[in-house]
Amino acid sequence: MTEFRSAYAATASGRLGRYGLYALLLLFAAYYLAPLYVMLATSFKPPEEMRESSLFALPRMLQWDTWRMTWSEVCISVNCGGMKPYFANSLAVVLPAVVISTLIGAINGYALTMWPFRGANLLFGLLLFSCFIPFQAVILPLAQLLGAVGMGSSTGWGVMTAYIVYGLGFTTLFFRNYYVTLPRELVKAATIDGAGFFGVFWHILLPISAPIFVVTVIWQFTQIWNDFLFAATLTDGPGQTITVALNNLVKTSQATKRYDVDMAAAVITGLPTLVVYFLAGKYFVRGLTAGAVKG
């Protein structure tokens, strides 16, 4: 009887502790999601309702005109085409930068692990060192260099190149840590069969690299899409990205401040990263742990 009571008390104590942990996690989640809720609720409220209701109150009715105006009509600096052209600018910069930096990082990680050469560790260390260089330390010489080679702020090629180069340290690190866990016998067997450097990569390693590709793409997409410093410094005018447009919209002088427009623009700016994490978040966690066993 005594053993039964002890077991019951232990079970009840464990259940109580688990419920307390769940409650704490829910509290943290509510605290973290509160700004997103406020942005969404405010974006659907007309100015009159915002003055009369609480910040956390639900909108009386969904006002879609604000979103339409924010997307295609609101004036940002001297341009009155809404957030749409800046959204397109971000896509035009982010997608090529993510693809190119990911592919180069995959080849770098493959070469450093499966085809070791003299100085490979030194090269890898230099690539890692680039991850710790703050953007502020190189932004001026970088802008001067891009201007000297004809890739200044009037085009998107300069900022795209900066994103590619500064992403190589992270992408190489991800792929190197993943490929070091794979047996080198795969490469040896393929070379015996006549496969070369790129043949082994394309036919052997690439098909089994989906987890780390997901990690790298999510990481690069998030970092590049959310960047403001490079975008504000290396782009100007109609070629600016959406984060710069959001900043300019908030600073635009208006007779009556439209917080509903500002909040709708903020949601539009952050929506792509939210969608990416929502669709591929679980694969991101799996990919991070895939290279955590060896190396």
Determine the pLDDT at residue 100.
96
Residue owning tokens 């899409």: 225
How confident is the model over 41-68, as a mean pLDDT? 84
| Spatial CB neighbours of 119, under 8 Å, sequence gap ≥ 6 | none
In which residue ranges of the chain is CATH 1.10.3720.10 found? 81-290
Distance from C-alpha of 240 to C-alpha of 176, rounded to nearest angstrom? 34
How far, in Å, are 175, 176, 195 from residue 203 at the CA level? 16, 18, 9
How confident is the model over 254-270, as a mean pLDDT? 84
Distance from C-alpha of 130 to C-alpha of 109, rounded to nearest angstrom? 15
Chain segment 267-276, per-residue pLDDT in tens: 999 999 988 8
- The two structure tokens encoding residue 117: 């050469």
3-class secondary-structure state, position 119: coil
Answer yes or no: is pLDDT of 201 > 70.
yes
Determine the pLDDT at residue 206.
86
3-class secondary-structure state, position 116: coil
Residue 152: burial class (beta carbons within 10 Å; 0-12, 13-18, 19+) = middle
Residues of the chain with pLDDT > 90, as a percent, come to 25
The b/e string for 95-107 (b: 16+ C-beta within 10 A; e otherwise) is eebbebbbebbbb
The alpha-carbon radius of gyration of the chain (Å, integer) is: 25
Determine the pLDDT at residue 18.
83
How confident is the model over 88-96, as a mean pLDDT? 93
Distance from C-alpha of 223 to C-alpha of 220, rounded to nearest angstrom? 5
* pTM confidence score: 0.84
**In the chain, what is the straight-line distance between the N-terminal and C-terminal CA atoms, in Å?**
52
Determine the pLDDT at residue 194.
79
Taking the domain 81-290, which CATH number applies?
A: 1.10.3720.10
**Residue, of 10 and 221, whose pLDDT is higher:** 221
| Spatial CB neighbours of 169, under 8 Å, sequence gap ≥ 6 | 127, 128, 129, 130, 131
